[in-house]
Homo-oligomer: A and B are copies of this chain.
């Protein structure tokens, strides 16, 4: 039976209303949306009289820890999984990315699965799947779900966690996935006492000194420009990562800083990786497809954001390959 997403959302709400015991899961290496979504839902369930348990990979990014309740587990056995009435999987396009530790594998979940996600490439697995690519974030989708349960209370803590997810997935309402509905849902959450001020201060206005200095040294000494500045790229030396004790997940914002360089049409972040070089690419103009560049170097992605890997090459040869490909795109 085919149903619209709208009725799937109602169906999910109805299922939740009529069941009592939920296992909540999300993807491995959880980001702000995954974390805000799962902890918000965990507390939303418990606040409204349901039993719920959240299982996450053990290491969560440090910057989120102060926002999180400690009531979650980092591992679970497949036997325990099967003892729950229902499993809710959040923000996870395919089952292989579910981060439920070593003991319980995704394929062993032998209970009904409700899937809630906003990724367009979601494989739509699960007993009930609610996949809405037009929604900014899974956290926003959960807030929409809560509106289907009008008797249930959304506490300030839950509102804060869902707003956190929305803010992290929209780059603080800056990315194109920020729709009028997103802004109105954020407004509703602030009225429910979500701590907008704290999220902005601690997550968007806060950076470790070492990361700031690492970025400063990169832009000072490792920024290259070609084709009259239309192509700007940075190579991140391993030594610099060690010098500032940077973790790779801390460098996620770098490509956005690169992308902000005025008049650069294509930007790239290059890093040594085994026998070659990993390349992240961004374009600022749909006429210049970095998706094509990425596909030429064993990678893929969208036209405006893509990545690949140049294998079996020394640095100079790798950068010549990249530069030639980008040149073709810029001059086509």
Interface residues of A (CB under 8 A from B): 172-176, 178-184, 186-188, 190-191, 196-197, 200-201, 204-209, 212-213, 215-220, 223, 225, 229, 232, 256-257, 259-264, 284
Given contact pairs A196-B178, A220-B220, A262 touches B190 in the complex (Cβ within 8 A)? no
Q: How far is the CB of A159 from chain B (nearest CB, A)?
A: 12
15 new A-B pairs (CB below 8 Å) besides A207-B262, A209-B261, A212-B219? A173-B173, A174-B204, A176-B196, A178-B196, A180-B190, A180-B191, A183-B187, A201-B284, A206-B260, A207-B260, A208-B262, A209-B232, A212-B257, A216-B217, A220-B220
- Residues in B neighbouring A206, C-beta threshold 8 A: 260, 262
Residue pair B190, A187 in contact (C-beta under 8 Å): no
Between A191, A200, A263, the greatest number of chain B beta carbons within 10 A of the residue's beta carbon is seen for: A200
| Interfacial chain B residues near A232, Cβ < 8 Å | 209
Q: Which residues of B contact A204 (CB under 8 A)?
A: 174
Give complex CA distance A143, B172 in Å. 23
Q: Is the interface of A mostly helix, strand, loop or mixed?
A: helix
In the bound complex, how far is the Cα of B307 from the Cα of A64, in angstroms?
A: 33
Quick one: given A190-B180, A197-B176, A284-B201, are A220 and B209 in contact (CB under 8 Å)?
A: no
When distances are taken between beta carbons in the complex, the residues of chain B under 8 Å from A181 are 187
Tell whether, in the assembled complex, residue B209 and residue A213 are in contact, meaning their CB atoms are under 8 Å apart. no
Known: A180-B187, A187-B183, A190-B183. A220 touches B216 (CB 8 A): yes
8 Å CB contact of A190 from B172, B179, B188: B179
Name the residue of chain B whose CB is nearest to the CB of A184.
Answer: B187
| Chain B residue, CB-CB nearest to A215 | B216
Bound-state CA distance A174–B168 (Å) is: 12
Question: Cβ of A261 and Cβ of B219 under 8 Å apart?
Answer: no
Are B261 and A207 within 8 A (Cβ)? yes
Cβ contacts under 8 Å, A179 to chain B? 190
Given contacts A180-B191, A257-B212, contact A205 B174 (CB under 8 A): yes
In the docked arrangement, what's the CA distance between A175 and B205, Å?
Answer: 10
Complex Cα–Cα for A183 and B191 (A): 11
Minimum CB–CB distance for A81 against chain B, Å: 38
Find chain B residues with CB under 8 A from A218 CB: 216
